[in-house]
Structure 1
């Protein structure tokens, strides 16, 4: 996974340098046999660094390769993610493949979106539905008894690796993991956000992991059944929320899928929120789209207001992801989503807006019809605590 980094050239440790050398060899390999040679050495070193907690060495190697060899950077990032989210553990004399997984849930609410402990009955119901519709027959599943917000997920490769090992052991012992919630950071409040059900799955070495890895399964059917059967199990955790479960996948892939899916979801949620709060149809709204730049284009911000004035009632941030840049038709995608949401009047501004936030409260500023950046402010008659959809 390519990560945007801006770093000064500096000396790095021997281990970080060796990571770079092996990743470069893998990126420049001419065939699968050579791939296996480089990859085996790279996996061994990466797993040692993760076990030692050497996050700085891993990040230093990624920083250096980002500046010097993009393909090697991507090879190393993919491999580090794989090592942080999967492993082989031995239990009672047998080897098992362990995968850390994530089942994201998109949600929005006029009230606070919960991030809270999951009760035992709900946890077991979720495991039953995951086992029946998402994972392969015979897979052992362990869940964390907490519905994470984005602020509360593991913050590093090393933290992710440690959670993998702890949850993997729990799966092999047919138990779940009780989280110490006192150590978790506070959750930022947004009208639209993502929650994460995190767990590990264990299967005998080389056996199928997911339902769609089996000959009679497919991903689309798994998604359909998980939403249909797993969705009701999530309702007690998301009181007062509209929500959309996403299909569970390997930890990092699921996070990326949620980041991507949350962008159109936030736009649809914004239109529904404004329609409900203002008591007006979405056709009465105007949307203004502007691109916000730091050293490069970072994100688009979408403001919502009435068609008969230049007021800005509400805003949505649409960040660029992965390989997206100025040459990607993001505006066309945003406009299509706005039309699906019922917004008819859409204005796309060509100017480059500075990547700025309010000095007082830290909220993003949104473009108005005149090309200025302003706070989103709901009218006084609408009683709501936040004007940002995340």
Structure 2
């Protein structure tokens, strides 16, 4: 899956070229032994580039491979992510596997969804619940004392690696990581968004990281059920005035992707609940119009919500395509299924291709109406109205 960065045709460095050569070797390997040969050399080079802060070399190689060798691009992306979120650290003569983890929490509110510092007492409670239901017995855990918004997470492989080093060292030292939020970017205000608890696990080399890795055969599903039941109340003091749903902790990049996927149906459910509460009306009296928006390819679906008997769009949701989804995937059918489960009776799927455009004045997405036009989402006048885009 291509990461969000712009391609470059400029001459790339010797290290970036070597990354590409090794990644193509791995992609074209015909045996597990040869896989290990290429993976070891790739991991060593990626580790050096992360340590040197050579983000441009990593991105340049990925961009070049995206254009020339899709399998090699995916293999290199997997290794870069892996090296950015995991490592081996030495403590008192013993090697430890260290993994950067994230715990996503989906939330929505008519007011602001906080991104906030976590009091130490609450951080300890979260560690106890995660240790009891999610992490393997004996895993050392460090958490950052901040509930991050997506805007505040590391936005590069090097930044992710640096956070891994700090949290890994904290886990081995038996402490947590204090976060200075003063330099963080401001959080955009959306009706529906994700918050992240970020931390690191450290276990003796080769030992289980999570409960479902242990011999008692606890499943991921069982771990999630207990985490939601026991851990969800811990977030209530942090997310006052919000409806929220914790997801399962996982490796950093996997957890972020899982949150991106889960946030799409969650946003639709939140949207209908918001409109019913704000308008004082039932789902029966709402209508959703679904349209596909294209650039060079289908990029996303946008869903406009309005009253069933009027040509007005009150509210909008963006449903981006993820991973291998494209025009051949029945994403529109999935969206319709989610909407009908909310109680909407009238869901219109438009066949036309909408241009991937935004408002020239404010930059907001435009949403389809029943006439097949793109318009602003405009709620009736109300106090403290947040952005009308659900993410």
Within 2, Cα distance between the matches of 1:181 and 1:324? 36
Which residue of 2 is the match for residue 24 of structure 1?
24
Q: Are the equivalent residues in 2 in contact too, given 1:5–1:66 (CA < 8 A)? A: no
Could you report, residue by residue, the CA deviation over 1:54-100 in whole angstroms, capped at 9, with x for unpaired residues? 00000000011001000000000000000000000001111000000
User: Structure 2-normalised TM-score?
Assistant: 0.98
Which residue of 2 is the match for residue 235 of structure 1?
236
User: Structure 1-normalised TM-score?
Assistant: 0.98
Q: Are the equivalent residues in 1 in contact too, given 2:135–2:210 (CA < 8 A)? A: yes
Within 1, Cα distance between the matches of 2:8 and 2:173? 46
1:81 paired with 2:63, answer no
Within 1, Cα distance between the matches of 2:380 and 2:233? 35
Within 2, Cα distance between the matches of 1:117 and 1:350? 46
Matched residue pairs, number? 390
Which residue of 2 is the match for residue 138 of structure 1?
138
1:161 paired with 2:161, answer yes
1:380 paired with 2:381, answer yes
Within 2, Cα distance between the matches of 1:27 and 1:58? 17
1:261 paired with 2:250, answer no
1:189 paired with 2:189, answer yes
Which residue of 2 is the match for residue 64 of structure 1?
64
The secondary structure found in structure 2 opposite 1:362 is coil
Displacement after TM superposition at 1:382 (Å): 7.5
Which residue of 2 is the match for residue 341 of structure 1?
342
Displacement after TM superposition at 1:185 (Å): 0.3
RMSD: 1.1
Distance 1:169 1:5, change over 3 A: closer
Displacement after TM superposition at 1:362 (Å): 1.5
Displacement after TM superposition at 1:10 (Å): 2.6
Counterparts of 1:268-283 in structure 2, within 5 Å, are: 268-283=269-284
Counterparts of 1:1-390 in structure 2, within 5 Å, are: 1-3=1-3, 7-216=7-216, 217-380=218-381, 384-390=385-391
Could you report, residue by residue, the CA deviation over 1:212-267 in whole angstroms, capped at 9, with x for unpaired residues? 00011211111001101110111110000000000000000000000000000000
Within 2, Cα distance between the matches of 1:157 and 1:191? 29
Displacement after TM superposition at 1:386 (Å): 2.6
Q: Are the equivalent residues in 2 in contact too, given 1:278–1:382 (CA < 8 A)? A: no
Q: Are the equivalent residues in 1 in contact too, given 2:189–2:386 (CA < 8 A)? A: no
Which runs of 5 or more residues in structure 2 are unaligned?
A: none
Within 2, Cα distance between the matches of 1:146 and 1:88? 25
Displacement after TM superposition at 1:115 (Å): 0.1
Within 2, Cα distance between the matches of 1:381 and 1:108? 18
Displacement after TM superposition at 1:296 (Å): 1.3
Displacement after TM superposition at 1:361 (Å): 1.7
Displacement after TM superposition at 1:383 (Å): 6.2
The secondary structure found in structure 2 opposite 1:236 is coil
Within 1, Cα distance between the matches of 2:60 and 2:385? 44
Q: Are the equivalent residues in 2 in contact too, given 1:2–1:323 (CA < 8 A)? A: no
Distance 1:281 1:139, change over 3 A: same
Within 1, Cα distance between the matches of 2:235 and 2:207? 29
Give structure 1 regions of 4+ aligned residues with deviation exceeding 3 angstroms.
1-6
The secondary structure found in structure 1 opposite 2:236 is helix
Within 2, Cα distance between the matches of 1:205 and 1:143? 21
